[in-house]
Structure 1
Amino acid sequence: MMGQRCNNLRMASRRLPRALSYWLFVAGLLVAHGALGAESQSLQQLAKPISITWQQVPLHTALQRLGDAQSLAIWCDRRIDPGALITLTAVDRPTAEVFASLGEQLGAAAVPFVGVIYFGPPQTCVELATLAALARQPLSGAPATVRARWLKPQPWTCDRLSEPRELLRQLASAAHANIRGEQLVPHDLWPARKLPAMAPLDCAVLLLAGFDLACEPSNDGEILEIKPIDRPVAIAQEYRVPSSQSAAFDAAVAALPEATSSGDGSRPTIVARVEDHQRLRAALSGRSTGAVAAAAAALRSGAANVAGSELEDRRFTLTIENKPLTAVLNQLATQLDLQLEWDAAIPATAADRNVLVSCKVAKADLDGLLEALLEPAGLTCERQQSRVLIRKR
């Protein structure tokens, strides 16, 4: 077996301190500019200090307290365990820093999304704004009445034990649309939620992101198609670049490692994330992207630092008590993009797969975490990068 001992589900990368610096930059930026609007108001709330002392508090309780105290609407992704126990102390620290500490414990990140603070896997944090922009593209030529049905902000309330598929039907029905591919949304039961006014299409994007799904309305707005997220998530835009600015523009593109360029030098087409396009437009105009855009971009960049970290760099600190082994491993695989394989000697019906396990790890690497989880069940593993083969000892 490759590796040291196993850890828990607090997936923190050594790059998280850099992400935290982005959060703190945002806090100061918004205070300085006093920006307005749904997203900027959320960002301003993140700059406000808060004092907390949490000892083994369930995550859902911690987020509720944090939201109530700072007047924030928080959306916790379904892939983040709401029952995970949080121990955290902060004295007069920016709320943004508290979110960063929570993310450090759980392998998550947080970004503003149209007035909501989304808390979930770092990869989704990086993709969310671009997914929303891609969903809007088919409606660009639709009549104003059709666009209004999908894009006019409305309060959104979800009852306790709501089913996401039914919530999606309600959003589509209000927009006078039918759904194609709703069978891709698995059954689930959700807690009660009350969100600020959001465009129904943004609500659909937020709802589906937790299932690694995206949506695309038809040009007439009458069909909402559900489909798996097509990665890498990026949006194409053509630019007109004066010869006098071509060098600066090319340098700005080169600074975006995941952006691609094609076409004529004076009218290139750039495929990149939404916040990357904001930077490119700023480079062309010679102006700042503005406080809100810069702040949002900084937060997503911080999430990108976490999402892009190597498995070998990750360190985990968590406590697991009497949880089914398979459920814990599957959650870990989802959040870290691992491929789990079980030895033929451990069939799907084997009791070894569902034994209740408990472990406590601190700053353990991935191999240490896996060993800590598997050892109580009499199992071990061999790992080659993201592929994990589980077998009996």
Structure 2
Amino acid sequence: MPGLCIAMLGWSIHALQNQSLLCASETTPVTRSTRLVTPHSLAQLIDAHWIGTDLRSVAEQISKQIELPVIIDRRLDPGTPVNLRADAEPAVDLLERLAKSLGVSLSVLHSSVRLAPETVARQMETAEILRDRDIQSLAPSSQTRFSSRAVLQWPIGAVPSEVVESLAEEQNLIIDNLTLIPHDHFPAITLPLMTLAERLDLLLGHFDLCISITTGDDATHISLVPLEDRQEIVRVYRRPLRNSAATARLNALATSVTIENGETDDFFFLRGSVADARLVERALFPPATVRPVKKPASDPQQDRFTLRVAAPLEELFVEVAGRLKLKLIIDRDSLARASIDPQEVIRLELSNATRKQLLDAMTRHAGLSWSIADQTLSIRATSMNPNNSDR
């Protein structure tokens, strides 16, 4: 499976410190907001295949390939089986499809990718921008506290409130309302280097919370607040030409986003969430149409497969035959004579296996044999045809 890489996502927003920046005038220029950053690696074409693989394993495999943690929200079952395949598909589309298959959304943050309920996923992206803005407004010594980087880890059974308190104590920070974190126990985890702010919000997001920073005379205090309380950003954009296609697309968003006019027609302001900003930027700067590049035909016998599966025999062969682009014929009479139940669950774990190794492993323990001829995969009881063939 080709390597998949997602670069660290950096969000950028100009802090609108006072009202003068919100009003365009001859004496006070308006600073446009930097466009939201989308890593080029999210457009990389990838191949992947999981058959009945538990979500935890899928997340671990993706994390290893993209060198970025894939966080499973505590409300999701990490044992959920995943059936997903991609053929030369952009990384962002694959990740979004994985989220959709789970009934959740994808949240791409500075140092992690998160699978979470839709509202939480969107809220975390916006809260991250506001958190970074708050940190930038602090004194340099306080900024250093929140930007200090370290590995995030805790043992099995760790209590979330105790982990948060311990993280804060590393930088002599005070948390005012730690009791907002429900009592729970987490599985063990080890994640790569992150800033203190990222580590705190990564954990707090499991409980729909995030940090809010206030600075006192002698110490920096952290308040825990609901994610929903940190959901409004203000961004500044140059208005497109009146009769342009971009203006038409922008006008179509009038009922779904909050757009405010400045004192001149040159700029407008968006007041809302990161999701709203994405809609506006898609209207202003539509993605370029990319001509798909046809991949050279690959030798099916050189393909490699990685899977961890526990699925009914028939369901598994249907899925694999589809992946191999083969028709499937199951000799049900031979299975019946051999007392083999098509619904028998096959448990299998393979890594970097060839097509032959994959099919051998699938059939061996079930008392089956296989053959491929004329783009058709045939499955029958071993007693009817003990030899596997691929031609």
Bucket of the pairwise TM-score, normalised by the shorter protein: 0.5 to 0.7
Counterpart-to-counterpart distance in 2, 1:219 and 1:290? 41
Residue 51 of structure 1 and its aligned partner are, at CA, apart by: 3.3
Q: Which residue of 2 aligns with 1:106?
A: 102
Secondary structure of the structure 2 residue equivalent to 1:201: helix
One-letter amino acid of the structure 2 residue matched with residue 182 of structure 1:
L
From the CA coordinates, give the structure whose radius of gyration is larger: 2
Greater per-residue helix proportion = 1
Secondary structure of the structure 2 residue equivalent to 1:162: coil
* Equivalent residue runs for 1:304-343 within 5 Å: none
Counterpart-to-counterpart distance in 2, 1:195 and 1:144? 27
Select which of 41, 47, 51 maps to 2:48: 51
The question of whether the paired residues in 2 share the 8 Å contact of 1:103 and 1:110 is answered with yes
The question of whether the paired residues in 1 share the 8 Å contact of 2:153 and 2:191 is answered with yes
Q: Which residue of 1 aligns with 2:59?
A: 63
Is 2:253 the partner of 1:271? no
Is 2:81 the partner of 1:85? yes
Select which of 127, 130, 133 maps to 1:134: 130
The question of whether the paired residues in 2 share the 8 Å contact of 1:78 and 1:210 is answered with yes
Is 2:163 the partner of 1:167? yes
The question of whether the paired residues in 1 share the 8 Å contact of 2:237 and 2:269 is answered with no
Q: Which residue of 1 aligns with 2:180?
A: 184
Secondary structure of the structure 2 residue equivalent to 1:160: coil
Secondary structure of the structure 1 residue equivalent to 2:64: helix
Q: Which residue of 1 aligns with 2:292?
A: none
Counterpart-to-counterpart distance in 2, 1:243 and 1:66? 39
**Quick one: structure 1 residues 231 and 53, their matched pair in 2 at CA, closer, same or farther if it must change by over 3 Å?**
same
The question of whether the paired residues in 2 share the 8 Å contact of 1:139 and 1:219 is answered with no
Counterpart-to-counterpart distance in 1, 2:70 and 2:250? 33
* 38-47 or 123-132, larger mean C-alpha shift: 38-47
Query: Greater RCO between the two (CA within 8 Å, min separation 6)?
Result: 1
Percent identity reads 18
Residue 50 of structure 1 and its aligned partner are, at CA, apart by: 3.1
Counterpart-to-counterpart distance in 2, 1:279 and 1:105? 23
The question of whether the paired residues in 2 share the 8 Å contact of 1:45 and 1:95 is answered with yes
Residue 216 of structure 1 and its aligned partner are, at CA, apart by: 0.2
Q: Which ranges in structure 1 are unaligned for 5 or more consecutive residues?
A: 1-30, 292-318, 320-393
Residue 98 of structure 1 and its aligned partner are, at CA, apart by: 4.1
Q: Which ranges in structure 2 are unaligned for 5 or more consecutive residues?
A: 11-36, 289-310, 312-391
**Quick one: structure 1 residues 140 and 101, their matched pair in 2 at CA, closer, same or farther if it must change by over 3 Å?**
closer
Select which of 92, 101, 125 maps to 2:121: 125
Secondary structure of the structure 2 residue equivalent to 1:125: helix
Secondary structure of the structure 2 residue equivalent to 1:218: strand
**Quick one: structure 1 residues 70 and 261, their matched pair in 2 at CA, closer, same or farther if it must change by over 3 Å?**
closer
Residue 217 of structure 1 and its aligned partner are, at CA, apart by: 0.9
Secondary structure of the structure 2 residue equivalent to 1:110: strand
Cα displacement string for residues 219-253 of structure 1 (whole angstroms, at most 9, x for unaligned residues)? 3571110122336822135x486898899789747
**Quick one: structure 1 residues 41 and 230, their matched pair in 2 at CA, closer, same or farther if it must change by over 3 Å?**
closer
One-letter amino acid of the structure 2 residue matched with residue 149 of structure 1:
R
Cα displacement string for residues 238-287 of structure 1 (whole angstroms, at most 9, x for unaligned residues)? x486898899789747636543245753376531223655786899xx9x
The question of whether the paired residues in 1 share the 8 Å contact of 2:126 and 2:230 is answered with no
Over the residues paired in the alignment, what is the CA RMSD in angstroms?
A: 4.1
Cα displacement string for residues 322-341 of structure 1 (whole angstroms, at most 9, x for unaligned residues)? xxxxxxxxxxxxxxxxxxxx
Counterpart-to-counterpart distance in 2, 1:58 and 1:240? 43
Q: Which residue of 2 aligns with 1:228?
A: 226
Secondary structure of the structure 1 residue equivalent to 2:215: coil
The question of whether the paired residues in 2 share the 8 Å contact of 1:113 and 1:129 is answered with yes
The question of whether the paired residues in 2 share the 8 Å contact of 1:42 and 1:116 is answered with no
Counterpart-to-counterpart distance in 2, 1:265 and 1:96? 38
Q: Which residue of 2 aligns with 1:146?
A: 142
Cα displacement string for residues 172-223 of structure 1 (whole angstroms, at most 9, x for unaligned residues)? 2223211122111111222233333322112222222221222201035711
Secondary structure of the structure 2 residue equivalent to 1:255: coil
Secondary structure of the structure 2 residue equivalent to 1:210: helix
